[in-house]
A and B are shown apart, each in its own frame.
Chain A
């Protein structure tokens, strides 16, 4: 294993799905059920059994719209306000309207959702306005349940192949070039439609621990979806709206105020006082978190030590089994007991992820990107605040639409020269006798991301970042060296990470205002609704560098009243609440 072999195989399929985490499996299932004759291939850099953000499971649905508890109108309004208004509501509304059907399907897969004594869904309030959080008592079984469905539906699963570039021709999608992560052999996939579900760009900023893989996101989610879309010519939206999360310090996993909040836990400052009204993750909330740390009132903590023993035990049970179970190991190692101590939190590294923010490959309400036949869903697509249920639901939309799309098309012709050029690019680090290892290229890129791109954003620093990134790119293209196919995978990820870093800097410089709280806090600019109430779309320019344009926000389908617009702008608790 891991030696570098020569070889190229070509396969054809109707629908290629890249990424077998959350959105990808659901896209595959929906496509196959709608057209059982379709040849659907699900490809993953890891193993579909345990790949993606929900590798170990998930503790709940953070954004379920369940009849009787919330309405699609209310949810659409909430997400619009939480995103400072820059939202194409059609996609949010469609998600809100149809996600309940997906919940029922997941239920049939054997994934249980918490119910109260009357057998009703036990939905909790975490958001500012509505009630959408539904705990999953056996959330550790999600991937296994999905995998069973994939086997039953006879989806063709291809593990340990990493897609490196999309192929296009005739102004539409033609397929993808992939490389085996254990042999370096190539796989060229011709496909009539391609659905990208490659997750977040989670290895963009460097965690403060300095450990490259100690990221908030699954560290295998290194941003290939963003880089491949960029090189294929697709539009990417609002990349300056970074993902920044409130996490357990050092462990860098979620503190899970969504789990603890409804049970009485909350985010507190060093005095043990509440300082934010609502623990739902938004840029405005993160700004308050940042201000508290900067204002000398930190550290900031998750406070549970005022709760009753049974409550703490239940919180522990959920948090130490599901999503990030090593959390229990972490607290044990440091002797932290929720009953006696508060849990220190901090601010995560930056990344791209629509799961909790609003940036990503631009898609409409059918999960279509700007390239015909190319779809995107989940954390990498720009439907805001996707979370797990958003990935499932938008993945379903992509799968269903792709089946209609392939009816009328055959394989698009593409230039074989593109395949040759890509093979040369990929293999370049294997052709040298020595040089810079991929982990140092990656470390340096990500350290500069922290040094220069972490908000508050400063123009001169971001311009310096661009110069440093260009130098690293020169080194990467001329000196990067790998010894085996595993390192080759890491070198391709390093290249992706650098592409994402370039996009993060360029997008942040383009939007000359502050927006989304801390996510795009530019110290030299105020919020500017007159000029910047729009999406920013980043594409690959003719010069091979990022190009930008503004795109109008679609007319709202759910109106927002003037007195509702600021619901997320006023996050800081007033003194009377704090004194309770």
Chain B
């Protein structure tokens, strides 16, 4: 498979300390119109939401609806 792994800085940032994905919360994943967020499990078993696909409309439901204020929507670098 000749696909490259090009790095990209993503606009949506999740504060691990505040994210309650561990408790089953998926609010940000649920509301994203572009469906770009997912939950990742780290090696120690904790779960955190993260931006899996760099396809952001910087619209902000993920930040506005997050119950703990863990999500920040930055502008994608190309247009900020």
Task: Indicate whether B15 reaches chain A with its CB closer than 8 angstroms.
Answer: no
Residue A251 interfacial (CB < 8 Å): yes
Q: Is the CB of B78 within 8 A of A209?
A: yes
Q: How far, in whole Å, are A181 and B30 apart by their CA atoms in the complex?
A: 13
Q: Does B55 contact A (CB under 8 A)?
A: yes
CB-based contact B38/A326 at 8 Å: no
A47's partner among B1, B31, B59, B60 (CB-CB below 8 A) is B31
Give the number of chain A interface residues (Cβ < 8 Å): 40
As a 0/1 sequence over residues 37 to 80 of chain B, the CB contacts with chain A under 8 angstroms (1 = contact) are 01000000000000011011111110011000000011110111
Residue from B31, B33, B75 in contact with A329 in the complex, judged by beta carbons closer than 8 Å: B75
B35 within 8 Å of A by Cβ?
yes
Interface hub of A181, A207, A329, A434 (most chain B Cβ within 10 A)? A329
The reply to whether B33 and A218 contact each other, CB–CB distance below 8 Å, is yes
Residues of B within 8 A of A181 (CB): 35
A489 adjacent to chain B (CB < 8 Å):
yes
Q: Are A215 and B57 in contact (CB under 8 A)?
A: yes
Chain A nearest CB from B24 CB (Å) reads 15
Name the interface residues of B2-24: CB closer than 8 Å to any CB of A: 2-3
Q: Closest chain A residue to B2 by CB distance?
A: A434
Asked if A330 contacts B38 (CB within 8 A), the reply is no
Asked if B73 and A49 make an inter-chain contact with CB atoms under 8 angstroms apart, the answer reads no
Q: Say whether B1 contacts A433, CB under 8 Å.
A: yes
- B30 CB contacts on chain A under 8 angstroms: 47, 49
Residue A182 at the chain B interface, CB threshold 8 Å? yes
A46–B33 touching, CB < 8 Å: yes
Interface centre among A207, A330, A334, A433 (most CB of B within 10 A): A330
Given contacts A330-B80, A486-B35, contact A212 B55 (CB under 8 A): yes
**A403 vs B39: C-alpha distance in the bound complex, in angstroms?**
41
Residue pair A333, B64 in contact (C-beta under 8 Å): no
Query: What are the residues of chain A within 8 A of B31 when measuring CB–CB?
Result: 47, 49-50
CA distance A433 to B2 in the complex (A): 10
Cβ of B32 under 8 Å from chain A: yes
Are A218 and B35 closer than 8 Å at their CB atoms? no
- Contact A182 to B65, CB < 8 A, known contacts A333-B80, A433-B1: no
CB distance from B33 to the nearest CB of A (A): 4
CB distance from A79 to the nearest CB of B (A): 29
Chain A, 197-216, CB within 8 A of any chain B CB: 207, 209-215
Q: Identify which of A47, A211, A433 contacts B79 (C-beta below 8 A).
A: A211
Within 8 A of B (CB), among A1-25: 1-2
Q: Once the chains bind, are B3 and A333 in contact (CB under 8 Å)?
A: no
Interface string of A300-339 (1 = CB under 8 A from B): 0000000000000000000000001110011001100000
A160 in contact (CB, < 8 A): yes
A290 to B19 alpha-carbon distance, docked (Å): 46
Cα distance A489–B1 when bound, in Å? 20
In angstroms, Cα B1 to Cα A448, docked, is 28
A-B contact count (CB 8 A): 93
**Chain A min CB distance to B13 (Å):** 12
Contact A214 B65 (CB under 8 A): no
A293 sits at the interface (CB 8 A): no
Q: How far is the CB of B32 from the nearest CB of chain A, in Å?
A: 7
Q: Given A49-B31, A210-B78, is A434 in contact with B3 using a C-beta cutoff of 8 Å?
A: yes
Closest-CB distance, B76 to chain A (whole angstroms)? 5
Contact of B56 among A160, A213, A486 (CB under 8 A): A213
Of all chain B residues, the one with the shortest Cβ separation from A326 is: B58
A219 contacts the other chain (CB 8 A): yes
- B57 in contact with A329 (CB, 8 Å): no
Q: Does A273 contact B (CB under 8 A)?
A: no
Q: Are A220 and B34 neighbours in the complex by a CB distance under 8 Å?
A: yes
C-alpha spacing A210/B77, complex, angstroms: 11
Contact A218 B78, beta carbon cutoff 8 Å: no
A500 within 8 Å of B by Cβ?
Answer: no
A359 CB-CB contact with B under 8 Å: no
The answer for the CA separation of A325 and B60 in the assembled complex, in Å, is 7
Point out the residues of chain B lying under 8 angstroms from A251, CB to CB: 75, 79
Q: Is A250 an interface residue (CB 8 A)?
A: yes
B61 touches A50 (CB 8 A): yes
Which A328-381 residues sit within 8 Å CB-CB of chain B? 329-330, 333-334
Which residue of B has the minimal Cβ distance to A217? B57
Contact of B76 (CB < 8 Å), options: A1, A160, A214? A214
- Interface: A496 (CB within 8 A): no
Complex Cα distance, B33 from A51, in Å, reads: 5
Nearest B-chain residue to A489, judged by Cβ: B35
Q: Which residues of A contact B74 (CB under 8 A)?
A: 329
A-binding residues in B (CB < 8 A): 1-3, 30-35, 38, 52-53, 55-61, 64-65, 73-76, 78-80
Interface pairs (28), CB distance under 8 Å: A46-B32, A47-B32, A50-B33, A51-B33, A52-B33, A55-B59, A209-B76, A210-B78, A211-B79, A212-B55, A213-B34, A213-B55, A214-B58, A214-B79, A219-B33, A219-B55, A219-B57, A220-B33, A251-B79, A324-B59, A326-B58, A329-B58, A333-B80, A334-B80, A434-B2, A437-B3, A486-B53, A490-B55
Q: Which 4 A-B pairs have the closest CB atoms?
A: A209-B79, A50-B61, A50-B31, A211-B78
Additional 18 contacts, C-beta under 8 A, given A211-B76, A220-B34, A326-B60: A1-B38, A2-B38, A46-B35, A49-B30, A49-B31, A50-B32, A52-B33, A55-B61, A56-B59, A214-B76, A214-B78, A220-B33, A325-B64, A326-B58, A326-B73, A329-B58, A434-B3, A486-B53
